[in-house]
A and B are shown apart, each in its own frame.
Chain A
Amino acid sequence: MALTEKEVEHVALLARFNLSADEKRIFAEQLSSILTYVDTLNIIPTDDVEPLTYILPVHNVFRADEVKPGMPREEILANAPLAEEGQYKVPKIM
C-alpha cells in the first residue's frame, strides 16, 4: 500500500500536525514501506476469527459513586503553559 503526499497531508490534519514539504515526502515514503510490510497480514484468513480487543476477561469495572477530594488545583495548574485566575488560558478560539 503506497501513501501519496496528499493522503499524508490529510492524516496530518487528523493528527494535528503541520508537516513541512520535506516531512510530507519522507513520511509518505516511510509509511508506505511500513504499510507494505503490514499488508503481509492479508495472507491469513480471518473471516471467522473474533477480534481480540482486550487480553483480560474484564469488561466493565465499576466503583462506588462517592465524592472524594480531587488533586489540588494549584498543583495541577502549576504545569499549565499559561493559567489565569485558576483556569487554563489559550489563544482565541473563534
Chain B
Amino acid sequence: MELYELTVHELQKWLAGREISSEEIVKSIFTRINAVDDRVKSFITLTEELALQKAKKVDDIGKYEGIAGIPLGLKDIFCTRGVKTTCGSKILADFVPAYESTASRRLDEAQGILVGKLNMDEFAMGSSTENSAFFATHNPWDLARVAGGSSGGSAAAVAADEVPFSLGTDSGGSIRQPASFCGVVGMKPTYGRVSRWGVVAYASSLDQVGVVSKDVRDNALIMNIIAGHDPLDSTSAVEEVPDFTTVLDGNVKGLRIGYPKEYFRQGVDAAIIDAIKAALLKYEEMGAIVEEVSLPHSEYALPAYYLIAPAEASANMARFDGVRYGYRDFSAENVADMFCQSRDKGFGDEVKRRIMLGTYALSSGYYDAYYLKALKVRRLIADDFTRVFQDYDIIVAPTTPTTAFKIGEQFDDPLTLYMNDILTVPVNMAGLPGMSIPCGFDQGMPIGMQLIGKAFDEATLYKAAYAFEQNTGFHTVKPTLGVK
C-alpha cells in the first residue's frame, strides 16, 4: 500500500499515530503525480515547493488535527493568493490573485496542503473538460475517454490517486457528472451552503462549491470544514452546520426513498437503469422504503438552464475587458477595439457561444419570451421537488444518461454535449443538495448514483450514501490508467 492511495481518514490515523509525516505523504503524492499525470492530465499548475514547505511546517508543529498535513487539489476556479488561477481560460492564463477564496482559505487554515490547481472546462462551461484552453483531462478508467466536466481535473485526480480529495464547483452537474464518470464521490451541497467568495463566477444563482473524494466519510469531513456562513458572500446561508460525520452509522431503516420515473426513461442507458434499480433493491434490503415518484417538469429543466445560465454568464463575463486584469490585445488602437479584440482572442468557442446566447436571451424584445419564461419554469421545477419531499427523505436517480464518452466524440455538437446534464441540472435549478456515488460498472466504466436531498439536509444524503457504500464496496475498485 502506497501513501498516495489512502483516504483522508486513513491518513489522519497514520499521522495521529506518528507512523508517517506530512512530508512523506506530500512526497508520495508528487511521486504519483509525476508517474501518471502526463497520461491523466489533471493539473494545470503544481505547487510542489510550497507544498513541501508547508508539510515541513506542519511536521515541525506536530499537531495532527483535522486535515493538518493532508494534501488536496483545487479546481482552477478558486482564487489562490500568489498562485496562478486560470479558470481554464487563455484570458486568465497569467492571472495571480491577490486574495484567497473562502473555501480554500478554510482548508489552508486547517493546515491542509495544496498540491496544485486542477483542469476544468473554460469558466466551468462544459461537461467533458475538453473546453479547457490548455488540454483535455483523460479518464483514469480509460484514457481514451473524457473525465467529465466541468470539474474533470478534480474528479480524475482523485480517481487516479493524485490527491486524496479536491474541491470543485457545480452549476448544472459539474461535480456530480465527472464524479460519476471517474467512479468517485462528489457532493454539491445546497445553494448557499458554501461561500462562493473568491470563486470565479459562471452562473451566480446556480454555482455552488463542493467536494470530490474517494469515499463518503472523507467527503463529509471536508464539508464540515468548508460549509457555513461567510460575511463576504451575501448569498451564503446563515444556517447551522451539523457535524456530517456523526450520521455515518450505516442505518437506513425506515428512510423514505423516492425514485422519479422521469429519470429512468429513454435516453438513459439500460445498463445504468439496471445498476440504479439494483441499488434501490439494496436499499430495500437494508430496510429503506423505496417508491416511484414523479417530477413532471424534469424535461424542461435543461432548456430553462440553457437560458438562465448563459444569461447570468453573459453578465459575469462582461468584466473581462482587458483593462484591469487578464489578457489584452495590444494591437487595438482605441478602447472599443481593445474590448472586442481582447475578448475575441481570450475566450474559447463555448464561452463565446454562451455569452452570445445569454446576451440574446436578455436583449430588448426577447427578455420576456426567453429569460422570464425560463425563470417561471424554474419555479415549477422547484415546486415538483417540494411536493415529493413532503413524503420522502431523499430522491435516488442516475447521475448521467451514459458512462464516460470518448474524447472528441461529442465535441463538435454543443446540443448533444448539453444533454449530459439532463439528470443533474434540475437539482441546481431548485438549489438542492445532490451527490454522486459509485454504484456499478458498464464495460469497465463507472456508473454513478445520484442522491438528492432537501435544502440544507446534506446529512441525510451522507447517511444514505455511506450505508450503500459500506454494504457494496464499489469505491474500493481502482482504475488501472490504461486504454480499454
Quick check: which of B20-28, B62-70, B369-377 contacts chain A, the rest being far away? B369-377
| Interface members, chain A 40-58 (any B CB < 8 Å) | 40-42, 44, 46, 49-56, 58
Q: Is the CB of B306 within 8 A of A81?
A: no
Partner of B380 from A31, A49, A53 at Cβ < 8 Å:
A49
Counting CB contacts under 8 A, is B303 at the interface?
yes
Q: Is the CB of A53 within 8 A of B191?
A: no
Q: Is the CB of B376 within 8 A of A50?
A: yes
- Given contacts A81-B322, A92-B335, whether A34 and B415 have CB atoms under 8 Å apart is yes
- Given contacts A44-B377, A46-B373, A46-B380, whether A15 and B356 have CB atoms under 8 Å apart is yes
Query: Which residue in chain A gives the minimum CB-CB distance to B321?
Result: A16
Q: Is the CB of B335 within 8 A of A34?
A: no
Q: Is the CB of A56 within 8 A of B357?
A: no
Partner of A27 from B330, B353, B370 at Cβ < 8 Å:
B353
| Interface members, chain A 60-94 (any B CB < 8 Å) | 61, 63, 71-72, 75-76, 78-82, 88, 90-93
Q: Is the CB of A88 within 8 A of B303?
A: no
Counting CB contacts under 8 A, is B326 at the interface?
yes
Hey, what's the 0/1 contact readout for B370-390 against A, CB within 8 Å counting as 1? Answer: 101111111110100000000
| Interface members, chain B 317-344 (any A CB < 8 Å) | 318, 321-328, 330, 332-335, 337-341, 343-344
Partner of A55 from B205, B234, B299, B373 at Cβ < 8 Å:
B205
- Given contacts A17-B340, A51-B372, whether A92 and B334 have CB atoms under 8 Å apart is yes
- Given contacts A16-B343, A17-B344, whether A79 and B335 have CB atoms under 8 Å apart is no
- Given contacts A14-B359, A16-B340, whether A81 and B375 have CB atoms under 8 Å apart is no
Q: Is the CB of A49 within 8 A of B359?
A: no
Within the complex, the shortest CB–CB distance from B303 to chain A, in Å, comes to: 4
State the CA gap A40–B299 with chains docked (Å).
10
Query: Which residue in chain A gives the minimum CB-CB distance to B232?
Result: A63
Chain A residues with Cβ below 8 Å from B341 are 18
Chain B residues with Cβ below 8 Å from A19 are 344
Chain B residues with Cβ below 8 Å from A52 are 375-376, 378-379, 382
Q: Is the CB of B98 within 8 A of A72?
A: yes
Q: Is the CB of B360 within 8 A of A31?
A: yes
Chain A residues with Cβ below 8 Å from B153 are none
State the CA gap A50–B378 with chains docked (Å).
10
Counting CB contacts under 8 A, is B256 at the interface?
no
Partner of A91 from B306, B334, B356 at Cβ < 8 Å:
B334
Chain A residues with Cβ below 8 Å from B415 are 30, 33-34, 37
Within the complex, the shortest CB–CB distance from A29 to chain B, in Å, comes to: 10
Q: Most B CB atoms within 10 A — which of A16, A17, A51, A58?
A: A16
State the CA gap A61–B377 with chains docked (Å).
26
- Given contacts A16-B321, A34-B414, whether A82 and B328 have CB atoms under 8 Å apart is yes
Counting CB contacts under 8 A, is B96 at the interface?
yes
Chain A residues with Cβ below 8 Å from B379 are 49-52
Counting CB contacts under 8 A, is B134 at the interface?
no
Partner of A81 from B205, B327, B334, B343 at Cβ < 8 Å:
B327
Q: Is the CB of A54 within 8 A of B205?
A: yes
Dominant SS among interface residues on chain A: loop
Q: Is the CB of B359 within 8 A of A11?
A: yes
Partner of A56 from B96, B235, B324, B343 at Cβ < 8 Å:
B235
Chain A residues with Cβ below 8 Å from B431 are 55-56
State the CA gap A42–B373 with chains docked (Å).
8
Q: Is the CB of B376 within 8 A of A51?
A: yes
Within the complex, the shortest CB–CB distance from A34 to chain B, in Å, comes to: 6
Q: Is the CB of A81 within 8 A of B356?
A: no
Chain A residues with Cβ below 8 Å from B306 are 34, 37-38
Chain A residues with Cβ below 8 Å from B343 are 15-17
Chain A residues with Cβ below 8 Å from B323 are 80-81, 88, 90
Q: Is the CB of B98 within 8 A of A41?
A: no
Q: Is the CB of A41 within 8 A of B377?
A: yes
Chain A residues with Cβ below 8 Å from B114 are none
A contacts, CB < 8 Å to B: 3, 7-8, 11-12, 14-19, 23, 27, 30-31, 33-35, 37-42, 44, 46, 49-56, 58, 61, 63, 71-72, 75-76, 78-82, 88, 90-93
B contacts, CB < 8 Å to A: 95-96, 98-99, 191-192, 205, 231, 234-235, 237, 297, 299-300, 303-304, 306-307, 314, 318, 321-328, 330, 332-335, 337-341, 343-344, 352-353, 355-357, 359-360, 363, 370, 372-380, 382, 414-415, 418, 430-431
Apart from the given pairs A56-B191, A79-B325, 7 other A-B contacts in the complex at a CB distance below 8 Å: A7-B360, A14-B363, A27-B352, A27-B356, A31-B357, A44-B297, A55-B205
